[in-house]
Structures are given as C-alpha cells and as structure tokens.
Amino acid sequence: MSEQALRRLNFRHLRYFMVVASTGSVTAAAARLHVAPQTVSAQVLALEQAFGRPLFARVGKRLALNVDGEAALEYAQAIFSLGEELGDLLSGRGEPRRQRLRVGLTDSIPKMMALKLLEPAVFRKSPALELSCVEGGLNELVGRALDHQLDAVLADQPLPPELSRSLRDYELARPGLSFVATPELVDRHRGRFPQRLDGMPFLSWSSDSSINLSLQQWFARHEVRPEIVGRFDDSALMKAFAGRGLGAIAVPTLVERDACRQYGLKPLGRTEELHHPVYLLVPTRLRLHPLVELLIAGKSGAPSSGSRRKT
C-alpha cells in the first residue's frame, strides 16, 4: 500500500467493511449502520482501492470474504479492539492489554521440550501474556499460520522449498537422543550401549516421521534390531506407555531428566549421532511478532538452511 493510499484509509472504511463481512450484504449493512447502501458501497470500494485488490467474492446473493478479505478482517478487528483498549486505558478504566501468542505444535514435538523452548517468551515479568497452544499435523498448522491464525509453529522438520517465500524457519534446538526405559527393562538388558538395545522392546515414532527414518538407519548402522512393539504420533502417549513398561523409547537429551522423573524411567545410553531438531516456522511479515522475536533470541536465532534468510 502506498503512503498516499494509507493516508486515505480510516476507521470508517474498516467499520463499514466489517459490517458487510458480518451481514454478507451491502443492504443489510446499510440498515444496521443507518446509512444509504450507496454510502456503504463507496466506503468498501475505497478500502479495496487503497489495498489494490478486492476483498469480497459474490456467492449467490451473498458477499463472502475472499482470502485477502479474511486477512483484512482479522487485522480490522484487532485495530478496533486496540482502539477500544487504548481509550479505556487513557481514561483510567482499563489495564494494559495482554500480549497474545498463538503457537502450533506438531504431534511429534515432545511437550517437555516445547515448554523449555517457549520459556523465553512465556516466563517473563511483563507484559501479561495470553498463550494459546494448539496441536495438529504440519500441513494443517502451516495453513493456519498462513491464514494469520497462528503466530508460529514448532515442528521437527524445516520448511519445504516451495514455502520459503511465505514463511521462515529457525532452528531453535538440535539435541542428541537419549534412550530410556523402566528400571526393570534396563536391568534385564545389560551390556554396552547401543548393543544392549538389540532385541529390546521399543516404542518408535510413526513410520512417516523424519526422526523414525533416521532412527532406523542408525539401528542398521550399529547392527542392532530392537523389537518394535508400538508406533506413535503423540510423544506424550509414547512416554506414558514406556512408563508402564511396554518398551524403551528415545527422547531428546534436553528433556531426558524430566522424562525419567515424570515417567519413572532410567537411562540406557545417549548418542550425538542422532538429533531431534526443533524448528520455529514463522509467517513472513514486515515485522516479527515481539514474542516470536524473544523465542528466536533465546536460542541461536539463525534461520535454517531451508529458509535462506539472515537475521
């Protein structure tokens, strides 16, 4: 948007646009606003001209938001919400707003590791935080981030090249793996590591996960063949079954101590030949969300090779 167009943009444009989006009709919006339909049409058209693109598509007799319109509506709602909060704050009726942080977590990300990686943004003195965490598959969460529904996504794999223009990825952690099991299993399978894993019941990630492929190659390289007795998408559920003695598991060394304490497990061995990387996937914006900046600054802050971007 040009500076001249930005100067022409005002709250009335956004207000009329929001009402049309809510009612699905210029006529219905005009009735709600107590103005002529021509006035509503003119205001919405001025907004579309300022943005240089349409915001609605006609679906039957209704006006429906297109992809750009959905994004514009989210920002318009935020603008009005901030305006109301500012008015309340300056008039002494309100408190400073809470900062919102909306993070998506892929199922394969251990929750304990997610907690540690989110600490720089979550556990700080001010301002107050409203944290929202949702789980899902990578494609679903990336789609929600692109639709402005999430500020960032924690994933165990970097961005595919075709998304590198829309998002950036930052490697937040790259811990090695620790193998743990119940004390009974540890005592039953003595010997040197990793040979002691041979024939041991083992719980692994789902077959299509990147960490599972690396794990199977590592087993083959060391000529050990654990007995795979379960596969999981959810790392917390995998730990829960391991705690009941179903089999050994591999966890990021970063959370080994926490996993052992919470689920009653003991270490079998550790390796730096395998890693459980965690990437922060962030939609490309003119300015990063301030809490996302804290997450990146809390670690290396360097984009991964897939993003080809520098900070």
Would you list the domain boundaries of the chain?
A: 3-90, 99-174+278-297, 176-275
CATH superfamily placement of domain 99-174+278-297: Periplasmic binding protein-like II (3.40.190.10)
DSSP string, 34-90: TS-HHHHHHHHHHHHHHHTS--EEEETTEEEE-HHHHHHHHHHHHHHHHHHHHHHHH
Which CATH architecture best describes the domain 176-275?
3-Layer(aba) Sandwich (3.40)
3-state secondary structure of 215: helix
- pLDDT tens, 79-127? 876 776 677 667 665 555 677 889 999 988 888 899 999 988 888 766 6
Pairing of strands 227-232, 201-205: parallel
Average pLDDT over residues 30-50: 93
- Identify the sign of the CA torsion 116, 118, 120, 124: negative
Q: What is the pLDDT of residue 2?
A: 52
Helix (H) or strand (E) holding 154: strand 152-155
pLDDT in tens, 230-289: 999 888 899 999 999 999 999 999 999 999 999 999 999 999 999 999 999 998 765 678
The model's pTM is 0.65
At residue 290's C-alpha, the angle toward residues 286 and 292, to 5°, is 90
Given this structure, which CATH class describes domain 3-90? mainly alpha
Q: Is 180 left (phi over 0), alpha (psi -120 to 50) or beta?
A: beta
Topology match between the domains 3-90 and 176-275: no
What percent of the chain clears pLDDT 90, i.e. is strictly above it? 52
